[in-house]
Amino acid sequence: MAAHLSQSYLVAEALSATGLKNRAVLFAMDPYVKLTALPSKRSARCRKHAGGGRNPRWGGERGRLQLALAAADDRILVEVWNQNVMTPSDRVGRCELSVAAITADPQPFQLPLDTGGEVAIRARVADSAPAVPRSGGHTLGGAAANADRRAAAAAAAERRANDWRQGGGGGQKQNARIAERREKDILVGKITELYAAKGDDPPFGLASSDLATLRRHLERMRDRK
């Protein structure tokens, strides 16, 4: 029997997908699953499967996600997205799942996508918010996650400031290297914050980019806001 609660939670796990439409140009896709409750539009996503291509596998903590359902929510929009490195994510395909079909007991759903292929998830509803491991899936725009990011950024900024002060008397070349490292750290922090605000992971190897590349990347992201 489906749960009908004034406040309930969707607890889901992205399992796998097969035969996805390819949205990548040069490399294998990095797909992830996003769930959106309708009509409230509350959403959550799982982690990407790096290099998962057209047949990704998630499961476990990588596939875990949850979101609070509003009383009026009667369907779940299930989407598969490809996470790009330098540009916004591309939607691979979508489908809808009725909330009435989801019970309090975990059950698998094999869902055909509108662009071909299918995605498999496991889902249940709960009357209280289950604890999610820190390494598990996440809810987009979660206040706790944002607070953790801000605290980590503040601690990193303090370490960078201490490093810069301690190295201030080491000669012109050393000071130049420290200043460059400091600017790179600031740029990486700003870019990471913008990705976090969108619910995306920053590109792999971002910290190893040179200053000019980081400046251009930040400008492009700001232009797209």
For the chain, first and last CA: distance in Å? 44
Question: Which residue among 114, 139, 164 closes a domain?
Answer: 139
> In Å, how far are 23, 71, 83, 220, 221 from 215, measured between CA atoms?
27, 45, 21, 9, 10
Per the structure, the complete domain to which residue 12 belongs is given by 8-139
Task: Give 204's strand partners.
Answer: none
User: How high is the pLDDT of residue 81?
Assistant: 97
Question: Which residue among 116, 139, 162 closes a domain?
Answer: 139
Domain presence at residue 30: yes
**Residue 74 to residue 38: CA distance in whole angstroms:** 6
Q: Residue with structure tokens 């190295």? A: 167
**Residue 127 to residue 192: CA distance in whole angstroms:** 34
Does 25 share its domain with 130? yes
User: How high is the pLDDT of residue 123?
Assistant: 96
Does 49 share its domain with 116? yes
User: How high is the pLDDT of residue 138?
Assistant: 46
Task: Give 32's strand partners.
Answer: 81
- Whether the CB-CB separation of 126 and 11 falls below 8 Å is answered with yes
Does 82 share its domain with 153? no
- Tell me the whole-structure pTM to 2 decimals: 0.59
Does 23 share its domain with 131? yes
User: Could you list the mean pLDDT of each consecutive 10-residue stretch along the chain, which spans 225 residues?
Assistant: 62 97 87 96 95 94 93 96 88 96 94 96 88 48 47 54 49 72 80 77 75 85 73
**Backbone dihedral region for residue 75 (phi beyond 0: left; psi -120 to 50: alpha; all else: beta):** beta
Q: What is the DSSP string of 110-165?
A: EEE-TTSSEEEEEEEEESS-----TTS-EETT-HHHHHHHHHHHHHHHHHHHHHHH
User: How high is the pLDDT of residue 168?
Assistant: 47
Q: Residue with structure tokens 């987009």? A: 140
Does 129 share its domain with 198? no
User: How high is the pLDDT of residue 203?
Assistant: 76
User: How high is the pLDDT of residue 144?
Assistant: 42
Domain presence at residue 1: no
